[in-house]
Amino acid sequence: MTKHQDYDKILRSNVEGFIPTILQKLCGLHPEKLIDLPTAFPRTRERRPDYVKKAETGDPRGDYIIHLEFQTDNDARMHVRMLDYYALLFAVYGLPIVQVLVYLGTGKAMMQVLILHERLQFQYQLIALNEVDYELFIHSDRPEEIILAILSNHRGRDSVSIIRTVLNNIHRRVRRVRSLQKYLMQVEILAKLRNLQPQTIQQIESMPITYDITTDVRYIQGIEQGIEQGIEQGIEQGIEQGIEQGIEQGIETKTHEVVIKLLKMGLLPIKDIAEIAGVSIDYVIKIYNQLAEEAQEQQGKQ
């Protein structure tokens, strides 16, 4: 079963691509510039917001902090969490905070958005993607935005037809096979939130592209299981082709390739990749640096 963290990783990896639409079309925000801010704060109870940026307006007196949070199910204490985030961000940056919770789940978003106490008034904005018309995203030039059409309101239209349009629109805008495969895998994972994964897989498999099984999310999941539970159990639970390749090439070579593939997918932080592959963080960083150097050399030749 796919964990909610998988959806969070996809949203975080694509966040820069679809955030302009979220901010402008859904939140009514139009900052001139967005500045990166650290989101890991030292506390007894660590809180890490999903997305935090400083919004510059051209006048420092009008600058503010944008905080977006993504939620796949209803949380009865979401208003408390958002207030906690607000207090934390305000204490660190001293600027007004615009907070938006983006609900990715099915059914109605039932979370409390308002706190009214005698000495405290607090409110955040809640946007349920399943109530937003899919047309807002499906014809975007950004594949990260097109993907959101899967989670949006299909307005009674046949979901398979929308899936097909999503995949075709991404295909037209992404020409590199490796990048295309990354987005297709993300569509497949997010489709599971709407119980559309089988239909999505069927549509992906019928697409006229060269599909590399070693970058498929199901293959990677099989590799993860194989590493965590042992090669023998991994053969039974993982994807047979991926495990057989690993056995033939040797455990060391397989681990090296798994690290490279996970890094190129861009879905996991370095720490998680190290844990999955059973190697040190330094080992992953070394490979990451090698890939970065190769990419720079490739750009220099172009």
Q: What one-character-per-residue DSSP string does the chain give?
A: ---HHHHHHHHHHHHHHHHHHIIIIIS----SEEEE-------SS----SEEEEEE-SSGGG-EEEEEEEESS--TTHHHHHHHHHHHHHHHH-S-EEEEEEE-SSS------EEEETTEEEE-EEEEGGGSBTHHHHT-S-HHHHHGGGGSB-TT--HHHHHHHHHHHHHHH--SHHHHHHHHHHHHHHHGGGT-HHHHHHHHHTSSS---GGG-HHHHHHHHHHHHH-HHHHHHHS-HHHHHHHHHH-HHHHHHHHHHHHHHHT-S-HHHHHHHHT--HHHHHHHHHHHHHHHHHHHHH-
Please write the tens of the pLDDT for every residue from 24-52. Answer: 888 888 888 888 887 665 554 556 888 99
Cα–Cα distance list, 222 to 9, 246, 284 (Å) = 18, 11, 20
Q: What whole-number distance in Å separates Cα of residue 107 and Cα of residue 160?
A: 20
Q: What whole-number distance in Å separates Cα of residue 37 and Cα of residue 54?
A: 7
Residue 172 falls within a domain, yes or no?
yes
Averaged confidence pLDDT in the chain: 81
pLDDT (mean) for 220-228: 59
Q: Give 283 or 130, the one with higher predicted confidence.
A: 130
Regarding whether 98 and 86 lie in a shared domain, the answer is: yes
Regarding whether 267 and 250 lie in a shared domain, the answer is: yes
Kind of pairing between the strands at 120-123 and 64-71: unpaired
- Residue 287's pLDDT is 83
pLDDT (mean) for 96-107: 94
The total number of structural domains that make up the chain = 3
Residue 18 falls within a domain, yes or no?
no
Q: What whole-number distance in Å separates Cα of residue 30 and Cα of residue 90?
A: 21
- Residue 44's pLDDT is 45
pLDDT (mean) for 89-106: 94
At 225, is the pLDDT very low, low, confident or very high (cuts 50, 70, 90)? low
Q: Which residue range(s) make up the domain with 258?
A: 219-296
- Residue 296's pLDDT is 67
- Residue 279's pLDDT is 81
Regarding whether 112 and 75 lie in a shared domain, the answer is: yes
- Residue 231's pLDDT is 47
Regarding whether 161 and 105 lie in a shared domain, the answer is: no
* Residue after which a domain boundary falls, among 131, 157, 173: 131
Q: Give 36 or 73, the one with higher predicted confidence.
A: 73
Please write the tens of the pLDDT for every residue from 181-198. Answer: 889 888 988 898 899 989
Q: What are phi and psi of 119, to 5 degrees?
A: -115, 15
Q: pTM of the full predicted structure?
A: 0.59
Regarding whether 82 and 51 lie in a shared domain, the answer is: yes
* Residue after which a domain boundary falls, among 213, 236, 265: 213
Q: Give 227 or 138, the one with higher predicted confidence.
A: 138
Q: What whole-number distance in Å separates Cα of residue 240 and Cα of residue 149?
A: 33
At 4, is the pLDDT very low, low, confident or very high (cuts 50, 70, 90)? low
Q: Which of 111-115, 263-267, 274-278 has the lowest mean pLDDT?
A: 263-267
Q: Give 170 or 119, the one with higher predicted confidence.
A: 170
Q: Give 160 or 240, the one with higher predicted confidence.
A: 160
Q: Give 104 or 20, the one with higher predicted confidence.
A: 104
Q: Is the pLDDT of residue 300 over 90?
A: no
Residue 11 falls within a domain, yes or no?
no
- Residue 243's pLDDT is 44
Nearest to 147 by CA among 135, 136, 137, 159: 137
